[in-house]
C-alpha cells in the first residue's frame, strides 16, 4: 500500500505559523515604536502651547500696562521643570494697543507661537 499524500505535513504548517508570527510581531513592534514617537511629539507641542498660553495670560492680567515691555520682553533659555524648552516673549506697543507674541521652542526645535492683542486701559 503506497500513500501519495498531497498537502503539507503538520511540521511544515507549524513552521509556517511560527515564521508568520515573527513577521507579525516585527511589524507590530515597528508600528508601536512609531506611535510612541508621534505621541511624544504631540505631547511636546501641547506642552509648548500651554507654556505660551500661560505666559500670555500672566502678561494680560498685569495691571502695569505701560511697563509690560520692560517687565516681560525676554528670552527664557531654561524653564524650571521643563527641560529643553525655551520661551521668547515679544511685546510690541502701538497707539492704543499692544501686541504680545510668545514663542516656545521644544526640545526637538519645533516652534509653537501664540499671539494676542490687548488694548490700553
Say what the pLDDT of residue 3 is: 63
User: Cα(120)–Cα(55) distance, rounded to whole angstroms?
Assistant: 19
Least confident interval from 14-18, 40-44, 47-51, 104-108: 40-44
Structural contact between residues 21 and 62, judged by C-beta atoms closer than 8 angstroms: no
Structural contact between residues 23 and 30, judged by C-beta atoms closer than 8 angstroms: no
Helix (H, G, I), strand (E, B) or coil at 2: coil
> Strand pairing of 86-93 and 74-76?
antiparallel
The pTM (predicted TM-score) of the whole model is: 0.72
Amino acid at each position: 500500500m503506497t500513500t501519495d499524500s498531497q498537502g503539507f505535513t503538520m511540521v511544515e504548517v507549524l513552521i509556517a505559523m511560527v515564521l508568520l508570527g515573527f513577521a507579525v510581531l516585527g511589524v507590530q513592534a515597528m508600528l508601536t515604536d512609531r506611535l510612541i514617537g508621534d505621541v511624544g511629539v504631540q505631547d511636546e507641542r501641547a506642552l509648548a502651547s500651554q507654556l505660551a498660553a500661560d505666559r500670555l495670560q500672566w502678561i494680560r492680567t498685569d495691571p502695569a500696562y505701560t511697563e509690560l515691555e520692560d517687565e516681560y520682553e525676554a528670552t527664557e533659555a531654561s524653564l524650571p521643570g521643563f527641560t529643553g524648552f525655551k520661551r521668547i516673549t515679544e511685546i510690541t506697543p502701538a497707539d492704543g494697543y499692544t501686541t504680545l507674541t510668545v514663542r516656545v521652542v521644544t526640545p526637538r526645535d519645533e516652534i509653537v507661537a501664540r499671539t494676542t492683542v490687548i488694548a490700553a486701559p
